[in-house]
Structure 1
């Protein structure tokens, strides 16, 4: 667990992998766990395995026998996923390590099965005819960037203790920025993001939300970007920068 995870009261953040895999987290939890995946290859492997298990469960065309349903429901309160054992947490890296294949704890698979069963019984997951296939559980673009094997990140720390991190995946062609305790833009202004190319041209990449702790997917193709800048612009943004960047992320350092 990292200091950042602890700061949000996530005393056992790894245990959320099952809920994340079946999209059972709220928007804030989902965003924060996606950020955690950037630093935890074990959780990335676990989420991938659980999604495969959930997809397999979804294609079953028959309801379980009553005694099986009762047994699963009676045990769900006492079953939760075990946090993975890892010695890589908190490491400052610029290139994420390749995924490591490992065995998923049986209790985690039981939890996924139990939740899938509850969803089916509740009528949210409708059983489809055998000739149809359910829609795959797919990650968002932001999640794919954060979990990409070629993802690199550049962090800038500020004097007030806040920090901002840019994560870029060349294979995905996109970039994500994550801020922590960042001061909001002055009244009547916005923080605007820019993709910088090899000729120092700056293309608008979106406005930061008014949130000190934000995760945002930048607009535009970042596959060839050499840097990402942040400027203070009039409310609503500008087609071209009107101020000197307050921070520049060098993606080729």
Structure 2
């Protein structure tokens, strides 16, 4: 069974719905997968809450009544016709049994929805982690490129910014140190200067004063770069005076 298939078994495991072989394989997988372990804990807790939500407290004396009737009611043998069991031999389900079955089905459906949501959340977290790792790898490739060159400048408020360019890779990385938080509802945006035309090149994380960001897009024919304060989400063109302008190293 592949790792991708094992990731899908968290809901079935929490409901004890796996075969012995599947359960053994999944429990070995749990030791190496923190996301699935967390998902199983959450699903198990949810299953318990759902079970309590549909539980029924028996009336007082119900146990004694059942045990007393067991000793006094004779079990009726099945009536057959032509070697088969007649329909009359099958006991009718009482309304309470039907209600309990419906409640169990509703709980299972609700749990299934939770399991799907939890699995989607785990998938999203894993994809975000993979994207962050890809970005970090690309930043490292630019910074360590044999032809990498750097230009630095003082920014407003005593911050410092550097841009590292690899023309062989046609990419640039902006390194910020000591950046003050932008005003509420604003974000720092990076720009490539293509002969006086400012081209969007990504956003800085407003919560991080120190960061290294792979600038969006290729360096191309850009001769410089800039940083401006823009509304959340960024702008197509700068809407404020730049807080930094730097020439790219040749």
Question: Would you say same fold, with TM above 0.5?
Answer: no
Structure with bigger RCO (C-alpha 8 Å, 6+ apart): 1
Which category of TM-score, normalised to the shorter sequence, fits these structures?
Answer: 0.3 to 0.5
Which TM-score applies when normalising by structure 1? 0.43
